[in-house]
Amino acid sequence: MKVPDVTTRSSLLTLLALSTALAGCNLAPKYQRPDGAVPAALPQGGAYPRAATDAADVTQIGWRDFFTDPRLREVIETALVNNRDLRIAAGNVLQARAQYRVQRSQLVPTTTVSGSGTYTNNLLGASGASGAAAGGGTAAGGTTGTGAGVGSSSSSNVEIYSVNAGFSAFELDLFGRVRNLSRAALESYFASEEAQRSARISLIAETATAWLTLASDQEQLQLARDTLDTFAETLRLTQAQFRIGVASELEARQAETNYQSARNDIATLTTQVARDQNALNLLVGTTVPANQLPTALGSGAVTRDALPGDLSSAVLLRRPDVLQAEHQLIAQNANIGAARAAFFPTISLTGTVGTISTALSGLFGGGSFTYTGSPSVSLPLFDGGQRAGNLQYARASQQVAVSTYEKTIQTAFREVADALAQRGTIAEQVAAQDARANAAQVAARLSDARYRAGVDSFLVSLDAQRTAYSARQQLVTTRLTRATNLVELYRSLGGGLAQE
């Protein structure tokens, strides 16, 4: 068996050294993060609140610390375990990680080991020696004869054993095509991780908002029931007065109008509460126990006041959706490098080493070593514009990714700005609505007393009752806006990232 000579081995080593030296060649454009899509600072002044200099970093506040109601914390924790959208996001991460491992495997040769044994029956002397020609001939001693010659044959078994290890058509990545494809797969994996984090934050915010909406509608339903009792008593008295001629039919009909309106509100809110529970169950992924459901929104806070002290727009760069868009942009940059590398020759190497012997016992003996080395180079001369089209597509995809990244930052900027604008005035709105509701309640009591004393008409009393009812409804709605605004501010600033 042949052992590789010094010249052959030197050629192989030179080829491998050359490929290693050129491994740093990368045709992908240098990545630069786009900037200037949004102002350097978040809006301040006017409707926007003054930043609290001692406020903690909202991204470092865990959701268990941000939400103070224990029932709401239990509901969110259940949602993080059971929500199907979050499970889908987790599955997408696993898929992207597996795809990256598949792509990365092309950076190293796939080595295989094989063994074989061949058994051949070799018929020796099949043509035979004819002894004498088929025609007449002269025998020894001058005797002439015409008999046919007689041949002889024998057989032998040939055995060949071999063991080989090597790789086939391994691409020497001289121009970075495989490395850029691997980088693109890695960035896609990172993007899927950020998508999962973004889904987690959104789920926390959506679950909290759904829970608070249910609390608000429960309070509105109880308010409608209490008001119905008041309107029912007023209707009963007015109808009694109408029957004895003290009140007019107009007054009785007006009282019935208020009563029927409250009945309609109860029916509508009963349906809405059921729908709120269904929405909450869908987010949580299971039926929420009754002891974890709210009965009223109330005036107390269910979250921390997490207004950030740093109002630089740089905080938006830490949002998972922004990071996801950036990873996708980097992946498209890498795809450009891979598309450029396709214009250069593709160099592949096939090599095996092994041993071969005619006896199993001598398989690893001296002189049985064998090897093969087969480098190849290919460069398409004409492909109908396929490579040029792939490069144009990669460049266009990169431009789309840039615009997507900038749009994501702009969307994040608007979400934070809107939340801050609402935050700057919501306290004043709640205070005004609270004062209005109290004033309307007092006005309704005074108007009823004046009506009973004969000072005011019944219509004035009914109008005061309607105003008081409407003011209390609006107060509940404004309190819900305050609570959900804090949740939205927490979400839009990237809160909920801290693991607990």
Task: Band the pLDDT of 369: cuts 50, 70, 90.
Answer: confident
Cβ atoms of 195 and 92 within 8 Å: the answer is yes
Beta carbons within 8 Å of 410's beta carbon, 6+ residues apart: 37, 38
Residue with tokens 């144009």: 392
Asked if the structure places residue 231 within a domain, the reply is yes
- Write out the DSSP string of 238-257: HHHHHHTTSS-HHHHHHHHH
Given this model, what pLDDT does residue 215 score? 96
Q: What is the pLDDT of residues 261-270, one digit of tens each?
A: 999 999 999 9
Residue 132 DSSP label? S
Q: What is the pLDDT of residues 218-262, one digit of tens each?
A: 999 999 999 999 899 888 988 888 888 877 888 888 889 999 999
CATH code of 421's domain: 1.20.1600.10
Cβ atoms of 123 and 153 within 8 Å: the answer is yes
Q: Calculate the CA dihedral of residues 351, 353, 357, 363 and round it to 10 degrees.
A: -150
Q: What is the pLDDT of residues 191-218, one digit of tens each?
A: 999 999 999 999 999 999 999 999 999 9
Task: Band the pLDDT of 442: cuts 50, 70, 90.
Answer: very high
**In a 3-state reduction of DSSP, which class is residue 494?**
coil
- The better pLDDT of the pair 292, 454 is held by 292
For the purposes of burial, counting CB atoms within 10 Å of the CB of 171, is it exposed (0-12), middle (13-18) or buried (19 or more)? middle
Asked if the structure places residue 121 within a domain, the reply is no
For the purposes of burial, counting CB atoms within 10 Å of the CB of 462, is it exposed (0-12), middle (13-18) or buried (19 or more)? buried
Would the pLDDT of 153 be above 80? Answer: no
Cα angle 475, 481, 485 (rounded to 5 degrees) comes to 150
Asked if the structure places residue 437 within a domain, the reply is yes
Owning domain of residue 471: 27-111+175-344+389-492
Beta bridge partners of 123: 155
Residue 135, token pair as written in the block? 């025609």
Asked if the structure places residue 81 within a domain, the reply is yes
**Cα–Cα distance for residue pair 221/216, rounded to 1 Å:** 9
**Cα–Cα distance for residue pair 51/66, rounded to 1 Å:** 18
> Phi, psi (5° rounding) for residue 304?
-80, 155
Mean of per-residue pLDDT scores for the chain: 84
Q: How many domains does the chain have?
A: 1
**Cα–Cα distance for residue pair 431/439, rounded to 1 Å:** 12
Residue 41 DSSP label? B
**Cα–Cα distance for residue pair 18/14, rounded to 1 Å:** 6
Asked if the structure places residue 248 within a domain, the reply is yes
Given this model, what pLDDT does residue 117 score? 82
**Cα–Cα distance for residue pair 458/305, rounded to 1 Å:** 46
**CA torsion through residues 356, 357, 363, 369, sign:** negative
Beta carbons within 8 Å of 73's beta carbon, 6+ residues apart: 63, 64, 67
Asked if the structure places residue 17 within a domain, the reply is no
**Cα–Cα distance for residue pair 255/275, rounded to 1 Å:** 31
**In a 3-state reduction of DSSP, which class is residue 156?**
strand
Beta bridge partners of 378: 346
- The better pLDDT of the pair 299, 95 is held by 95
Q: How far is CA 72 from CA 79, 82, 208, 284, 492, in A?
A: 11, 15, 7, 11, 20
Residue 461 DSSP label? H
**Cα–Cα distance for residue pair 204/284, rounded to 1 Å:** 10
Task: Band the pLDDT of 12: cuts 50, 70, 90.
Answer: very low
Asked if the structure places residue 379 within a domain, the reply is no
Cβ atoms of 195 and 96 within 8 Å: the answer is no
216-228 burial, b at 16+ Cβ within 10 Å, e below that, comes to: bbbbbbebbeebb
Asked if the structure places residue 80 within a domain, the reply is yes
Q: What is the pLDDT of residues 93-143, one digit of tens each?
A: 999 999 999 999 888 888 899 888 888 876 554 444 444 444 444 433 444
- The better pLDDT of the pair 173, 428 is held by 428
Q: What pTM value is reported for the model?
A: 0.82
Alpha carbon 479 to chain centroid, angstroms: 33
Cβ atoms of 55 and 309 within 8 Å: the answer is yes
Would the pLDDT of 145 be above 70? Answer: no
Given this model, what pLDDT does residue 55 score? 62
Cβ atoms of 325 and 316 within 8 Å: the answer is no
Q: Which helix (H) or strand (E) holds 77?
A: helix 70-82
**Cα–Cα distance for residue pair 186/207, rounded to 1 Å:** 32
